[in-house]
Structure 1
Amino acid sequence: MESFFGLALNIIITIYLVIDSKKHGKSPILWGILGFVFGAISLGIYFIKTGRKVAGWIITILSILGYILLILLFGLAILFAVVGFS
């Protein structure tokens, strides 16, 4: 279910970036690919590039912090798996 939510979110971001990039004179193919691969980080960068800097920086910083937290949680899980809970 979580992977479906992540995929659906990336598809929604991709559709938004493709439609909105045409309005701002940007390449819709490039922003569509970036939106699908990188998700919220590319949405934040797109907002920064199109003049919506506050929302762009907030989205970018929150998504980077989320990725860092996810990496730390995976590292902690691997540490507990190797060392054990004792």
Structure 2
Amino acid sequence: MELSFGFILSIIIAIYLAIDAPKHEKSPWVWGILGFLFGPIVLGIYLIKTGRKVAGWIIVIISIILVLFIILLVIAGFFLVFSTM
């Protein structure tokens, strides 16, 4: 279920970026593809570049914190699995 949520979120972000990019004279293909591949981080960067800096920085910071948290959880999981052997 989590995998499908992330996939759906990436699609929604890509569609939003592809629709909104021409309004700010940006390439919809580039931003749509980047939004699909990298998700919320690219959305935050796009918002920063288009003048919505507060929302953009909030999204970027939260995305980076979540990515770091997931990396720490994976490292802790490996540590727990391999330390019991």
State how 1:73-84 maps to structure 2 within 5 Å: 73-84=73-84
Q: Which amino acid aligns with 2:40?
A: A
For 1:11, the equivalent position in structure 2 comes to 11
For 2:30, the equivalent position in structure 1 comes to 30
RMSD: 1.0
CA deviation vs aligned residue, 1:2-57 (integer Å, no higher than 9, x gap): 10000000000000000000111000011011100000000000000000000000
Give the length in aligned residue pairs: 85
CA distance in 2, matches of 1:58, 1:24: 21
Gaps of 5+ in 2: none
Q: Which amino acid aligns with 2:3?
A: S
Q: Which amino acid aligns with 1:41?
A: I
Displacement after TM superposition at 1:84 (Å): 1.9
Structure 1 stretches (4+) deviating beyond 6 angstroms?
none
Query: Is 2:5 the partner of 1:21?
Result: no
CA deviation vs aligned residue, 1:52-79 (integer Å, no higher than 9, x gap): 0000000000000000000000000000
For 2:2, the equivalent position in structure 1 comes to 2
CA distance in 2, matches of 1:45, 1:84: 42
For 1:41, the equivalent position in structure 2 comes to 41
TM-score using structure 2 length: 0.98
Sequence identity (%):
58
Q: Which amino acid aligns with 2:82?
A: V
Query: Is 2:60 the partner of 1:60?
Result: yes
